[in-house]
A and B are shown apart, each in its own frame.
Chain A
């Protein structure tokens, strides 16, 4: 049967529109970052400047505190991602496989924590962290970010564990594995896509977090990259070129990270375990 062309064309067009819509801000980021300062306001709205330069990048890397921000962000985001994923794997497994008393209330409590606007918590958290010496420190940020991300990550991991048939663990136990061996050798390898997704999710959440970083950190030494971006905004002007260049650079790790884990994100690793 010959398929009519129109729906296919419309479908592709719709996808194209979506992609353009989603990626246009990123394109603009890139465009501004390579536009020389003298052309920024003089050329009007153009899709690409008549002359390009990498001066902004050079300045950001050589003369600003950006490398420090970058390093801080990397440390905070990676630590948060690892801590949260480790906790969420264990708690997600427990929620998925065990039935215990108060399970319902624990889940409800975890949901409840997700309901409050974070602004409400800024002051109390500052009050708590300050006597512990955790303000103005990367550790403090990791602690706060982990606390905020564990509930959601737990639900995420739980849904991945729910997708793995219980039969597999039982088969492993009958084959001679303890419950923990079955978890380690059978369930965990099958949850790699879930772990990758959780790592990615938490990493990006921590990478782009501004509110708490802004409130808990002052000075450049412990500032993360979103806070650092604000240093390009001075009282009288905004240095758009440098800010955008820093933004492009900040995209790189997140992009690399997703490149690394995308294999797991798209792969249906559990296919073939049970019928189907």
Chain B
């Protein structure tokens, strides 16, 4: 196991710059999730750590050693691919033992390592099979098994669950988490799925446009998103954003509604800002207080209900556990608790 340090890392293809100076310290044994939309550079960053992409500028250190110019085979890391990338002409056991065979490990040791990994992942009955005779979930397990047999310095995961169906994804997510608790291996996990990020990560690295937007624990990102991008990306359904102006200690919406906010430190009177509030934090009031909104769409999820409201033309989503609120075409009153209101300045940065 090892720590990984990334310093001022840049990547460009010709004139197109993909990563703009990434700094990241990953502690020994930490589970880091790189999350962001397609094209944000998260996979490129992972592949650079693996050695599959050249470094344009900056430095990557694994266990304190600069690895920029090191071939992937000499970095002692394991990677689980989105496509699994199992060797089709080798059995499951052959796939899992390939790295050890390349290192000329003793036969008994290989046998023990493969048996150990197989029992951990429930692959014992499949060891002699070829990949094409396996289901998607089983292939995924073999890919993980191939990574854990050799106890590398770090595990890299490149969207490993995105080819699985929802149920299986949930199950494998839990297994990855268990495996990490078990092995305490430094892991870097790339996903665009914020649920995976929230559930797996010790720390999340939210990326957008080749720039790190925020690094922090899942709850930090959820509770105190650093900017509009993170606020909108983390959480489902996504956070509501409303344009507002700051006047007299309150946010004034476009329709004129006044929303009390915890007075932020340095906001100029009259300046424009964006108000954000998560659907699950909006309260549907029963005493008639608050703002009136029309119900435009009702999406029951079983667990709760997502209401699409219109506040004088401003769209607002509300998530509620209260089934009584189901009143299509009707009207409800809502309030925004001040402690849950996030404010962002006109550059999208968090205020306060």
Contacts and interface: CB of A to CB of B under 8 A. Distances in A.
Interface of A: 165, 167-168, 170-178, 181, 186, 189-190, 269-275
B102 A176 contact: yes
Interface string B81-106: 10111111100000000110011000
Given A273-B131, A275-B136, A275-B163, A174 B86 contact: no
Contacts of A175: 73, 78, 98-99, 102, 146
A271 B84 CA distance: 13
B150 to A, nearest CB: 8
Contact of A173 (B71, B130, B139): B71
A181 B87 contact: no
A222 B89 CA distance: 43
Q: How large is the interface on B (under 10, 10 to 19, 20 to 34, 35 or more residues)?
A: 20 to 34
B230 interface: no
Contacts of A271: 88, 132
21 contacts: A165-B85, A168-B85, A170-B85, A171-B87, A173-B52, A173-B71, A173-B72, A173-B73, A174-B72, A174-B75, A174-B78, A175-B99, A177-B102, A178-B73, A190-B88, A190-B89, A272-B131, A273-B85, A273-B131, A274-B85, A275-B83
Q: Which of A168, A172, A174, A190 has the most CB of B within 10 A?
A: A174
B52 A274 contact: no
A221 B323 CA distance: 96
A167 B132 CA distance: 16
A272 B92 CA distance: 12
B54 to A, nearest CB: 13
Contacts of A167: 81, 83, 85
A273 B83 CA distance: 8
Nearest to B130: A272
A168 B130 CA distance: 15
B2 interface: no
B86 A176 contact: no
Interface string B101-137: 0110000000000000000000000000011111010
Q: Which of B50, B73, B81, B163 has the most CB of A within 10 A?
A: B73
